[in-house]
Amino acid sequence: MFLKRKLTIFLGIFVIVAGFLYFARNKLVYFSRNKSVSNVINDLTDNPNLNLENEGGLENAQHPLSIEALRRGEYPGSDIVVEQTLESGSNYKRYIVSYKSEGLKIYGLFTVPNGNRPENGWPVIIFNHGYIPPAHYKTTERYIAYVDSFARNGYIVFKPDYRGHGNSEGDASGGYGSNAYTIDVLNAVASIKKLKDPSSTPFGRSGSIVDADRIGMWGHSMGGSITLKAMVTTKDIKAGVIWAGVVGSYQDLLENWRRRRPTLAVTSFPQARRWRQELVERYGEPSENPEFWASISATSFLSDISGPLQLHHAPSDTHVPYEFSQSLEKLMKEAEKEVELYAYEGDDHNLSKNFSLAIKRSVEFFDKNLKGGD
């Protein structure tokens, strides 16, 4: 009887405490969903590029995923260091190099054309690869034919590995719940620009090998998202080419992607599953808090994009919806920006059936916008 009475008292206390915690949690969620974006203070990720000492202090701090946070960040890059000289390509040299991003040592593949260097240096293509399981990623594997196509047409190609990939330091935090990979790419751009200085070249050549005014960016799938974010953050990227890009708004990613194909590769690691849940719990659905969701979407900032875009996508792509590229094309035109979209009927996510045609168009686009009259 005594034990039964104690159990009853214990259960009563438990119910009261649980009810109090539930009420407190709902009140917190309601508050976070209804405050304005300018008052959002995020505790989901640690972003050293988020300056909390800026004008207005904490109240005006932006979410680390926001485009504004990217724009406020500092991307000094570093000297590029040659770690290994690889077997040469058809008419270019290949290297594994490293540079610094937020104090992390990031590796990448780097190609330099043979022959006479243009007066102001070679144009550059920053190459943003798509999702590959970080533990399986290797600098010299995948995208070999893609890199070769640009390199043998007179471009320096720099393919950063991103943090947590291959030998790169840091955690592979995913391409959508964090801006870390975009930060790595922005530091890659800054590092490339240092090669404008003739005394900075580590490739055994005198004179400047890079024309810092002629930098383009290519991205596939997740790399397309990184490309778009970079181009609305910095003016250094003069033209962008995106294949099968994850270029929808965050509302599209939330509502029109996972539900269409729940077995997508991007949802195969825990970080990718968590960011959706964490953001919705903290800031509400896009219909409840459109201002916040727009603030983290590059598509909301196309009026500031740094150059023209060329988009390639297969309507039959089962990994990334073709509608993402269609929507981006429409939004670019509404912003009165230059864009072209090529559709490849019956092809796959890698455009493998139309690879030669898509590469030809991509090279021609970069030639037009980066080489000009060369």
Taking the domains of the chain in order of start, what are their residue ranges? 1-34, 76-371
DSSP result, 120-175 = T-EEEEEEE-----GGG--TTSS-HHHHHHHHTTT-EEEEE--TTSTT--S----S
Give residue 270's pLDDT band: very low, low, confident or very high (50, 70, 90): very low
Identify whether the C-beta of residue 146 lies closer than 8 Å to the C-beta of residue 242: no
Is 70 exceeded by the pLDDT of residue 300? yes
How confident is the model over 108-148, as pLDDT tens digits? Answer: 999 999 988 898 999 999 999 999 999 899 999 999 999 99
- Mean pLDDT for 279-295 is 94
How confident is the model over 24-34, as pLDDT tens digits? Answer: 444 333 333 34
Q: Which of 181-185, 263-267, 311-315 is the least confident region? A: 263-267
Is 80 exceeded by the pLDDT of residue 154? yes
- Packing angle of the helix pair 180-194, 222-231 (nearest 10 deg): 60
The pLDDT of residue 206 is 59
How confident is the model over 34-71, as pLDDT tens digits? Answer: 433 333 323 333 333 333 333 333 323 479 999 999 99
Domain 76-371 fold is Rossmann fold (3.40.50)
pTM of the entire structure? 0.81
Closest among 244, 240, 236 to 338, alpha carbons compared: 240
